[in-house]
């Protein structure tokens, strides 16, 4: 439900599809594996041949993908344990006679409405009625703006919100961006391979079924589905690719509202701006002007009736997860089974827990950190962040390929980076969001509206640097280039990723690597284009910039040779930022660990030297596997490489690894053309 800011570089693959979130079954038990678990290893494998399998072979055997999951890994297991904790909080808050304050009232009643399957079932498609009528009443294309403004969170036509000004990061401005598709990426509409063609057929069949569920006759529904496909294909063709969007310069198009009106004159922008509460908006960023040109052509070309069909589809599509079983299951059938290969739907309590986290994450998170994230954990994590920071400072100073002038700028950026650990200093105020025990979809819509208005209320105001893009219980982390901050939610600072009772080596390999990864994002191919304040400004000398590009292309060439599934290789240009961050991150973690333990006599444990434990700790942070369908999906939409290569691709570039495991120079885990950026 939440649309995170564009420059949030998450540590790992979050939910791939916004309308279907991911997680798993099995009753959670608050027991956890150690930071380094020897039973997860496969010691019959030579670490110099396949380090991923050596670190994770046992884990893979012991952890088959649960039927309601698209993939399963160390972090999804942690997330699952977390769901159990959150469930306890939500059940207490929704009990018949709970003791609660304004925040726990909201999370409790939201959860109670979502878990009331009987009430949801009895309503069928009824909750969609007011919106369907609004679409039916549309008398002319000129009135689109009205409906689009009302349906913005349903991803109708395009996306609209706020963003930091690329040229002045301290200011928030409005932004319009491409959107309006039902498939996960524009590539799905244009690729010609047999799998893509089949998937499009399955998609059209799904759209048809949804229209039938709304009461349309099969023949009519089939024709309607074709109309939707035709319109979305045209929008997709006008959309930028993910690789194009990784270069922020391609998205920086601040213009007057008059300029936007010239690009898409058939859309009533003034009506739209007035309707969303911005009647005197003068300028905005138009991230993808080509899309709005294509949209205008379509507005012109397609009939009013076909546009109404398109809007009905997006309405039912966005709301299906919150409706009765027939809608819910048909939605899961396509987005869960066909697209991701899941076998079954997650239990309702898990979906509802995620839903409350999505809509009221800082209210839920406040209770969560009180119970599960103490001040010691925060102190320990901050200490590690500072050590990694200082490793980066040493690294920059020692870089052989960078001039003193660029180094000076890089250090300014590093010192300007804010480190956020656990949860925000100031909790979000949800007092304007009204949650009532009762209708599930009404609560969802109010939460969407609240978030949309909250985003728009920032426009024309100075930036709030305290804000977070992830909720405290989230098992993930991120760097935001425009904020120049790294963020570690309380949820990821838990065992086994972060285990205060473990020896230092695996903790540094795992959480140290995560911290280093986020920090390096500030200096990857995308992040390096922003300065310390988050402005899109080139602070590199020309020669250093060229050298960076050369070194980074070594990495994209390396990863582009790895196969994901069938004949699909990693798109090394899509994953470049993450791959650079993975390598830089582990190098920094290694340095920080060595500094932290300088002068200490470190001992072997479990027949592993301290150095080996560092690397196995890292390898085990990536134990996991995806279903074939999900591998194909990730190949198109995910900027992260598959777990296996996040391990092997990184360590094969590190001489420290080769030394730790005494690998011969020609071993598979030694990259002959060693890449090094940071």
Cβ proximity to Zn ion: between 8 and 210 the closer is 8
**CB of 529 vs Zn ion, minimal distance in Å:** 16
State the nearest-atom distance from the C-beta of 10 to Zn ion, in Å. 6
Instruction: Give min distance, CB of 485 to Zn ion, in A.
Output: 14
Min CB(160)–Zn ion separation in Å: 26
Q: In what order do the strands lie in the sheet with 172-178?
A: 158-164, 172-178, 283-286, 254-256
Residue number, 11 or 498, with CB nearest to Zn ion:
11
Interface positions, 230-249, toward Zn ion (CB under 5 A)? none
Q: Determine which residue in the list 9, 360, 391, 447 makes contact with Zn ion, applying CB under 5 A.
A: 9
SS3 for 478?
Answer: strand
Chain centre to alpha carbon of residue 131: 29
Beta bridge partners of 624: 73
CB of 634 to Zn ion, least distance (A): 14
- Closest approach, Cβ 618 to Zn ion, in A, equals 15
Contacts of 324 (CB under 8 A, 6+ apart): 120, 121, 122, 123, 124, 125
| Cβ closest to Zn ion, residue 472 vs residue 516 | 516
* Closer to Zn ion by Cβ: residue 66 or 585: 585
Binding segment (CB under 5 A) for Zn ion, from list 1-9, 23-31, 85-93, 627-635: 1-9
Q: Minimum CB separation from Zn ion for residue 615, in Å?
A: 20
Binding of residue 36 to Zn ion (CB under 5 A): no
**Minimum distance between the CB of residue 576 and Zn ion, rounded to whole angstroms?**
11
Quote the Cα angle for 341-345-348, to 5°: 155
For Zn ion, the closer CB: 506 or 516: 516
Q: Which two tokens stand for residue 514?
A: 């995560």
Dihedral sign from CA coordinates of 418, 589, 398, 646: negative
Beta strands in 248-310 (DSSP E): 254-256, 283-286
Give the residue with the Cβ less far from Zn ion, 520 or 667. 520
Q: Which of 337, 99, 30 is nearest to 206 (CA)?
A: 337
| Interactions with Zn ion, residue window 523-582 (CB under 5 A) | 578, 581
Stretch that binds Zn ion, among 8-16, 326-334, 608-616, 625-633 (CB under 5 A): 8-16
Q: Which is nearer to Zn ion, 9 or 410 (CB)?
A: 9
Helix (H) or strand (E) holding 275, with range, is helix 269-275
Q: Nearer to Zn ion by C-beta: 7 or 11?
A: 11
Pick 385 or 435: Cβ nearer Zn ion:
385
Round to whole Å and give the CA distance between 241 and 186: 7
Do 20 and 485 meet the contact criterion of CB atoms below 8 Å apart? no
Q: Which long-range contacts (CB under 8 A, 24 or more apart) does 46-50 make?
A: 47/661, 47/663, 47/669, 48/658, 48/661, 48/662, 48/663, 48/664, 48/667, 48/668, 48/669, 48/670, 49/667, 49/668, 49/669, 50/648, 50/668, 50/669
Task: Record the tokens describing residue 94, joined without a space.
Answer: 């929704």
Distance of CA 64 to the CA centre of its chain: 24
Site for Zn ion in 11-30 (CB under 5 A): 11
Q: What are all long-range contacts of 52-59, with beta carbons under 8 Å and residues at least 24 apart?
A: 52/619, 52/622, 52/643, 52/644, 52/647, 52/648, 54/616, 54/619, 55/615, 55/616, 55/618, 55/619, 55/620, 55/622, 55/623, 55/647, 56/619, 56/620, 56/622, 56/623, 56/624, 56/647, 59/620, 59/623
Considering only residues 347 to 406 of the shown chain, the ones binding Zn ion according to CB under 5 A are none
Question: Of the two residues 154 and 582, which places its CB atom closer to Zn ion in the complex?
Answer: 582
At closest approach, how far in Å is the CB of 546 from Zn ion? Answer: 24
Query: CB-wise, 369 or 581, nearer to Zn ion?
Result: 581
Return the number of the residue (11 or 110) whose C-beta is nearest Zn ion: 11
Closest CA to 307 of 135, 151, 190: 135
Would you call 71 helix, strand, or coil by DSSP?
strand
Q: x/- contact string, 128-147, with Zn ion (CB under 5 A)?
A: --------------------
* Binding residues for Zn ion restricted to 573-592, rule: CB under 5 A: 578, 581
Handedness of CA 570, 576, 579, 583 (dihedral sign): positive
**What is the distance between the alpha carbons of residues 371 and 264, in angstroms, rounded to a whole number?**
51
Please give the Cα distance from 480 to 8 (Å, whole number): 5
How many Å apart are CA 667 and CA 657, to the nearest integer?
Answer: 12
Interface with Zn ion in residues 176-205 (CB under 5 A): none
Closest approach, Cβ 663 to Zn ion, in A, equals 27
In angstroms, give the least distance from the CB of 395 to Zn ion: 18
Q: How far is the CB of 647 from Zn ion (least distance, A)?
A: 15
The stretch near Zn ion (CB under 5 A) out of 9-17, 117-125, 324-332, 450-458 is 9-17
Contact 45, 598 (CB under 8 A): no
- Tell me the residue number closest to Zn ion, measured at CB: 9
DSSP per residue, 623-644: -EEE-HHHHHHHHHH-SSPPHH
Nearest distance in Å: CB 519, Zn ion: 10
Count of residues binding Zn ion (CB under 5 A)? Answer: 4
Residue pair 473/490 in contact by the 8 Å Cβ criterion: yes
What is residue 390's three-state secondary structure?
helix
Least separation in angstroms between CB 478 and Zn ion? 7
Measured torsion, CA atoms of residues 537, 541, 545, 546, in degrees rounded to the nearest 10: 140
CB nearer Zn ion, residue 6 or residue 85: 6
Kindly indicate which of the ranges 10-18, 398-406, 532-540, 587-595 contains the residues binding Zn ion, using the contact rule CB under 5 A.
Answer: 10-18
Question: Based on CB atoms, which residue is closest to Zn ion, 362 or 578?
Answer: 578
Closer Cβ to Zn ion, 245 or 312, answer by number: 245
Q: CB of residue 428 vs Zn ion: minimum separation in angstroms?
A: 24
Footprint of Zn ion (CB under 5 A): 9, 11, 578, 581
């Amino acid at each position: 439900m939440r649309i995170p800011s564009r420059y949030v570089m998450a540590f790992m693959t979050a939910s791939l599809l916004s309308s279907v979130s991911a997680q798993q079954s099995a009753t959670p038990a608050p027991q956890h594996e150690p930071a380094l678990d020897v039973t997860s290893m496969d010691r019959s494998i030579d670490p110099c041949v396949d380090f991923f399998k050596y670190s994770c072979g046992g884990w893979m055997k012991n952890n088959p993908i649960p039927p309601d999951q698209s993939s399963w890994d160390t972090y999804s297991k942690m997330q699952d344990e977390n769901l159990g904790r959150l469930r306890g909080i939500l059940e207490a808050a929704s009990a018949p006679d709970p003791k609660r304050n304004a925040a726990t009232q909201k999370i409790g009643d939201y959860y109670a409405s979502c878990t009331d399957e009987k009430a949801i079932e009895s309503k069928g498609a009824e909750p969609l009625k007011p919106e369907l009528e609004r679409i039916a009443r549309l008398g002319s294309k000129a009135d689109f703006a009205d409906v689009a403004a009302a349906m913005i969170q349903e991803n109708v036509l395009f996306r609209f919100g706020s963003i930091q000004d690329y040229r002045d990061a301290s200011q928030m401005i409005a932004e319009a961006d491409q959107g309006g598709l039902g498939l996960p990426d524009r590539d799905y509409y244009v690729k010609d391979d047999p799998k893509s063609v089949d998937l499009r057929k399955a998609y059209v069949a799904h759209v048809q079924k949804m229209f039938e569920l709304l009461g349309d006759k099969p023949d009519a529904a089939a024709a309607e589905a074709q109309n939707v496909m035709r319109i979305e294909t045209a929008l997709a063709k006008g959309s930028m690719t993910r690789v194009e969007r990784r270069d922020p310069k391609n998205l920086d198009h601040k213009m007057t509202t008059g300029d936007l009106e010239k690009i898409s004159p058939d859309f009533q922008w003034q009506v739209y701006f007035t309707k969303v509460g911005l009647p005197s908006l003068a300028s905005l960023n138009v991230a993808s002007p080509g899309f709005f040109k294509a949209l205008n052509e379509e507005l012109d070309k397609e009939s009013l009736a076909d546009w109404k069909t398109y809007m009905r589809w997006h309405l039912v599509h966005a709301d299906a997860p919150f409706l009765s079983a027939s809608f819910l299951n048909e939605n899961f059938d396509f987005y869960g089974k066909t697209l991701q290969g899941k076998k079954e739907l997650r239990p309702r309590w898990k979906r509802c827990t995620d839903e409350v986290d999505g809509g009221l994450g800082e209210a839920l998170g406040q209770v969560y950190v009180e119970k599960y994230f103490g001040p010691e954990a925060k102190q320990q994590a901050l200490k590690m962040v500072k050590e990694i920071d200082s490793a980066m400072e040493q690294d920059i100073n020692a870089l052989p390929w960078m001039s003193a002038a660029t180094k000076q700028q890089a250090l300014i950026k590093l010192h300007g980076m804010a480190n956020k650990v656990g949860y925000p200093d100031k909790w979000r105020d949800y007092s304007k969001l009204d949650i009532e025990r009762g209708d599930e979809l009404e609560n969802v819509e109010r939460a969407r509206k609240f978030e949309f208005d909250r985003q728009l209320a920032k426009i024309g105001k100075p930036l709030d640097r305290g804000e977070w893009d992830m909720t405290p219980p989230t098992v993930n982390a991120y760097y935001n280039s425009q904020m120049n901050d790294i963020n570690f939610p309380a949820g990821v600072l838990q065992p086994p990723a972060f285990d205060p009772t473990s020896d230092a080596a695996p903790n540094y390999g795992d959480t140290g690597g995560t911290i280093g990864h986020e920090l390096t994002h500030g200096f990857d191919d995308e992040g390096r284009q922003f300065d310390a304040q988050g402005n899109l400004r080139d602070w590199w000398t020309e020669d250093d910039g060229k050298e960076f590009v050369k070194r980074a292309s070594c990495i994209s060439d390396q990863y582009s040779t790895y196969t994901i599934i069938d004949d699909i290789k990693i798109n090394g240009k899509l994953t470049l930022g993450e791959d650079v961050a993975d390598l830089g991150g582990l190098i920094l973690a290694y340095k920080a660990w060595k500094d932290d333990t300088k002068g200490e006599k470190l001992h072997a444990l479990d027949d592993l030297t301290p150095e080996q434990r560092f690397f196995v700790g890292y390898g085990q942070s990536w134990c996991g596997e995806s279903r074939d369908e999900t591998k194909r999906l990730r190949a198109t939409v995910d900027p992260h490489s598959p777990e296996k290569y996040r391990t092997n691709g990184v360590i094969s570039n590190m001489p420290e690894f080769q030394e730790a495991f005494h690998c011969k120079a020609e071993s598979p885990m030694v990259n002959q053309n060693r890449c090094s950026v940071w």
